[in-house]
Amino acid sequence: MAVDTTPAARSTSLFDQVANTAHEQVVFGYDPKTGLKAIIAIHNTVLGPALGGTRMWAYQSEAEALHDVLRLSRGMTYKSAISGINLGGGKAVIIGNSATDKTEALWRRYGKLVDSLGGKYITAEDVGTSPTDIEYVAMETDFVAGKPDYLGGGGDPSPVTAYGTYLGMKAAAKEAWGTDTLTNKKIMVQGVGHVGQYLVDHLTEEGATVLVADINDNNLQAVTSKHNNITVVPVDDVYSTPMDIYAPCALGATLNDDTIPQLTCQIVAGAANNQLKDEVKHGAMLQDRSILYAPDFLINAGGVINCYAELGDYNRDRAYGYTEKIYDRTREIFHRSAAEKITTHEAALRIAQQRIDDMALVNSTL
Ligand code: NAD
């Protein structure tokens, strides 16, 4: 989700920041003996426990870490709400260098912190955390999702994320062209890492004309050796290349003042988080150019859905079953956007907020 840059949100007061982003609870965990400096932000638990990964990052300041965790946890609330799953939004950050500061003691101390919240927050992997770290956390608490297969978890979420992205893309095609077939459509996949490679599998299987761009030659090699008729595009030419669909699967903020005017596509649908540099401005810019934008936080929700399917006994079919709902939900967003003359991003936020408000009524005492 976009960063709230209002003066209130930029306030240096810790309590102002928490209040302005409407968080339920923010927990600080400091343990000098193990070097743990963690912040867990629980944004909203109306729909269920707050689930979100733990990011380990060498933040320049504690204020920057707090700002990040408040922003990311709010994003998780809307991602789960729009996906129709019963999870709230939360996230955690650990201040530290993920290459040099990790120890078993740090992770297990962190696991105890997560456990102390009694299940209100469920953690998972994120930037800077690995399956081994999660394994240590899981030694101290049951409130962990996204565990590796050998620990009874759902394993790599990327195939599920790619599948949801593919379905969201098809829903957008249906809206734009009246049919959801992607056969012969020229589709640019920017970033062929974990998710992008699986997305390319779906697209080639359907007979799309696939273009790919990546800064990593090994990843390009992996997709081009698997599929013969894929065209590699230089990374700097991605936006100006003629295409029907642009699928950002690398970085955030690639939809901005510089790139949007170059786009020739009719649809943007990809897995990257936070694709709109400015949610309001760039959502509107796409709409003004008649480019249909499938909101990222819905169509890339396969990862969190995979975690959801892990609560109880993990079942991959269940994960794919929930993920299939992304198609209809994406269509619903487009209809709401057209009916209310708002951007698709705004329509998705309204539907998500409506679900939270409705479920708050269900949960209130009779
Ligand atoms: P990844 O790191 O495996 O892949 C990213 C790919 O993008 C890499 O191949 C990298 O070389 C490439 N890349 C980086 N900069 C680039 C550039 N400037 N131009 C072209 N390519 C570039 O990551 P991933 O797990 O595949 O995730 C991709 C995106 O989807 C990320 O934004 C991530 O946050 C988001 N996402 C992933 C999941 C998941 O299940 N993995 C879930 C939700 C969202």
Which of 97, 119, 144 lies at the terminal end of a domain, its last residue? Answer: 144
Q: Do residues 115 and 209 share a domain?
A: no
Instruction: Give the CA distances from residue 263 to residues 172, 188, 240, 246, 288, in Å, rounded to whole numbers and listed in that order.
Output: 17, 11, 6, 8, 12
How does residue 212 score in pLDDT terms, banded at 50, 70 and 90?
very high
Ligand 1: lining residues by beta carbon, under 6 Å: 157-158, 161, 190-196, 213-216, 219, 235, 249-251, 271-273, 300, 303
Q: Which ligand 1 atom lies nearest to the CA of residue 252?
A: 32
Catalytic residue positions, numbered: 91
Q: Do residues 265 and 291 share a domain?
A: yes
Reading the block at residue 275, the tokens are 């694709």
CB 343 within 8 A of CB 281: no
Q: Do residues 229 and 125 share a domain?
A: no
> How remote is the CA of residue 215 from the centroid of ligand 1, in Å?
11
Q: Which ligand 1 atom lies nearest to the CA of residue 196?
A: 26
Residues 6+ apart with CB under 8 A from 260: 282, 285, 286, 289, 291
Rounded CA separation 168/102 (Å): 37
Residue 31 CA, distance from chain mean position: 30
CATH code for the domain of 28: 3.40.50.10860
The helix, strand and coil proportions of the chain, stated in percent and rounded to the nearest 5, come to 45, 15, 40
Q: Do residues 188 and 62 share a domain?
A: no
> How remote is the CA of residue 191 from the centroid of ligand 1, in Å?
6
Q: What is the pLDDT of residue 2?
A: 46
Q: Do residues 240 and 109 share a domain?
A: no
Tens-place pLDDT, residues 80-118: 999 999 999 999 999 999 999 999 999 999 999 999 999
Average pLDDT over every residue of 299-314:
92
Tens-place pLDDT, residues 173-209: 999 999 999 999 999 999 999 999 999 999 999 999 9
Q: Chain-wide mean pLDDT for the chain? A: 94
Q: Among 79, 127, 161, which residue has the most ligand 1 atoms within 8 Å of its CB, making it the best to mutate?
A: 161
Rounded CA separation 244/266 (Å): 6
Q: Among 129, 246, 249, which residue has the most ligand 1 atoms within 8 Å of its CB, making it the best to mutate?
A: 249
Q: What is the pLDDT of residue 11?
A: 62
This prediction has a pTM of: 0.92
| Per-residue pLDDT at 13 exceeds 90 | no
Q: Do residues 208 and 234 share a domain?
A: yes
Is there a domain that residue 317 lies in? no
How does residue 320 score in pLDDT terms, banded at 50, 70 and 90?
very high
> How remote is the CA of residue 310 from the centroid of ligand 1, in Å?
23
| Per-residue pLDDT at 255 exceeds 80 | yes
Residue 252, domain extent: 158-302+327-352
Residues 6+ apart with CB under 8 A from 107: 133, 136, 137
Is there a domain that residue 92 lies in? yes
Q: What is the pLDDT of residue 6?
A: 52
Q: What is the pLDDT of residue 216?
A: 96
Q: What is the pLDDT of residue 3?
A: 45
Is there a domain that residue 310 lies in? no
One-letter identity of residue 168: G
Q: Do residues 254 and 190 share a domain?
A: yes
CATH code for the domain of 203: 3.40.50.720
Q: Which ligand 1 atom lies nearest to the CA of residue 250?
A: 7
> How remote is the CA of residue 115 from the centroid of ligand 1, in Å?
30
Residue nearest to atom 35 of ligand 1 (CA): 272
Q: Do residues 177 and 128 share a domain?
A: no
Tens-place pLDDT, residues 30-66: 999 999 999 999 999 999 999 999 999 999 999 999 9
CB 65 within 8 A of CB 17: no
> How remote is the CA of residue 250 from the centroid of ligand 1, in Å?
4
Tally of structural domains, the chain = 2
Q: Among 194, 307, 308, which residue has the most ligand 1 atoms within 8 Å of its CB, making it the best to mutate?
A: 194
Residue nearest to atom 33 of ligand 1 (CA): 272
Q: Which ligand 1 atom lies nearest to the CA of residue 274?
A: 32
